[in-house]
Structure 1
Amino acid sequence: MTLNVVALTVDLVLLTIRREALQVLLIRRGIPPYQDRWALPGGFVLDDEDLDAAAARELREETGLDPERGHLEQLATYGGPGRDPRGRVVTVAYLALLPDLPAPVPGSDAAVAAWRPVGETGELAFDHDRILADGLERARSRLEYTPLATRFCAPEFTVADLRTVYETVWRTRLDPRNFHRKVTGADGFIEPTGGTVIRDRGRPAQLYRRGPATHLHPPLLRQSPGSPSR
């Protein structure tokens, strides 16, 4: 039996909040295939790497960020025939949630790297539109049941800062009082630091840090379409 040669890559859905918008890191490809088209960052897995190590390496190369500062998880595997004109290429996609980052530096196969609002990406190379859509839905869902929204925040943040994350990722408006009640009532979600910061109207706001919880009890569920703000 003849075995087909299959190449293995990793692709990254890197999400951050910049300029009050949810943005994704894209690269404009500098080489074929899809030269000059925008794509998700990624690359081939090296012979001596496992998948997680390859994803962490690509994250460092594209952002200069230690993966420990953000959240990195495996999203899904994509292996449809014809997804890459170079041959049979299977990619394992990863989702990264990161705090606000500076302008990125393009890697070896990229002419330009840039943060783009998730609604303004245009048609991406390969099957990256599907991968990005899957990553966005995973991020929105994970914010319901886990404390990962804090990964978009500074180490110390206000409840208003955290609400902005939810509103930006979920693309909705949330009632400030109800949100405050829910996040402070979720076991181990956030905990006060004892400090305050002066924000809007000159009133001090309490500072919080991420708590020890890995899942939210009770969860913060998204609104269904057409339901009132809560």
Structure 2
Amino acid sequence: MIESVRPPTLFRLAVDLVIFTMRDERLQVLLVERGKEPFLGRAALPGGFVRLPEDLDATATRELEEETGLEGRDLHLEQLRCYAREGRDPRGAIASVAYLAIAPNLPTPVAGTDAARAMWVPVLGDKVDRSLAFDHAAILRDGLDRARAKLESMPIAASFCGAAFTISELRRVYEAVWGVRVDAPNFYRKVTKIEGFIEETGELQSLPAGRPAKLYRRGPATILQPPMLRPGRSSGT
């Protein structure tokens, strides 16, 4: 008996973008309000379909600029993963390659093309808005996990501070991205022991109360060794 062979599924290809920044000392994600069906009026991650002959990276840059007005060429966009679960998009078999970026000083977005509105929305701890269109809640969750892991192994947290910053200001960046409180003395010991992470400027910042705080700047390290592990994690997990 010859078994029937199911023909291969032909997917349309799209990209979605998980863009994080810090605003008002809070981690915020870039969302758009959809201006057309499906999910008219619902919040979603910015993104859209690949248009040949452009490649995935070019599509990600174009969609970010078209839907939000942000200059994608100024960001380090990295691929997060591909999503191709059946039923993820009511329009049919559509696979999406998600991109991630986490960067400081990103401006207020301006909606365009099929987005009715573009906005920065605070990320509240581990809570992800499940009302997002398509499977974007799951994509946002994966992007948040990746962003938190990047702060463990890379010195990007210092980029969200000024040219000179205190240890307390750096700690607040970690707390905002990780969504947890960080023990101040333990944090101080860790960051000052990582070679090349931060460097003293030799200057002090006056505080409303207590002794002036030392000011630091970002050091030359590109990898944190040992890593800055989140509370509750250990090098063996």
| TM-score over 0.5 (shorter chain) | yes
User: Aligned pair in 2 of structure 1 residues 158, 98: CA closer, same or farther (>3 Å)?
Assistant: same
Quote the offset at 1:151 in angstroms.
3.7
Counterpart AA for 1:64: L
1:158 corresponds, among 150, 159, 166, to: 166
Total equivalences in the alignment: 224
Quote the offset at 1:75 in angstroms.
0.9
> For the residues of structure 2 that align with 1:216 and 1:93, how far apart are their CA atoms?
26
Pair member with larger Rg: 2
Counterpart AA for 1:82: G
> For the residues of structure 1 that align with 2:119 and 2:208, how far apart are their CA atoms?
31
Map 1:125-204 to 2 at 5 A.
Answer: 125-201=133-209, 204=212
Quote the offset at 1:93 in angstroms.
0.7
User: Aligned pair in 2 of structure 1 residues 86, 66: CA closer, same or farther (>3 Å)?
Assistant: closer
Secondary structure of the 1:125 match is coil
Structure 2 residue aligned with 1:8: 13
Structure 2 residue aligned with 1:209: 217
Q: Kindly report the root-mean-square deviation, in angstroms, between the aligned alpha carbons of the 2 structures.
A: 2.6
> For the residues of structure 2 that align with 1:58 and 1:155, how far apart are their CA atoms?
31
Quote the offset at 1:67 in angstroms.
4.5
> For the residues of structure 2 that align with 1:16 and 1:142, how far apart are their CA atoms?
14
Structure 2 residue aligned with 1:74: 79
User: Aligned pair in 2 of structure 1 residues 204, 59: CA closer, same or farther (>3 Å)?
Assistant: farther
Quote the offset at 1:66 in angstroms.
5.2
Quote the offset at 1:38 in angstroms.
0.6
TM-score by length of 1: 0.84
2:26 corresponds, among 6, 21, 26, to: 21
1:83 corresponds, among 73, 85, 88, to: 88
Structure 1 range deviating more: 146-155 or 127-136: 146-155
1:64 corresponds, among 70, 74, 85, to: 70
Secondary structure of the 1:93 match is strand
Quote the offset at 1:111 in angstroms.
0.7
1:105 corresponds, among 84, 106, 110, to: 110
Residues 124-168 of structure 1: per-residue CA shift (max 9 Å, x gap): 100001001111111112211221223433444332221101111
Structure 2 residue aligned with 1:228: none
In the alignment, structure 2 segments of 5+ residues that lack a partner are 1-5
In the alignment, structure 1 segments of 5+ residues that lack a partner are 226-230
Secondary structure of the 2:58 match is helix
Work out the percentage of aligned pairs sharing the same amino acid. Answer: 55
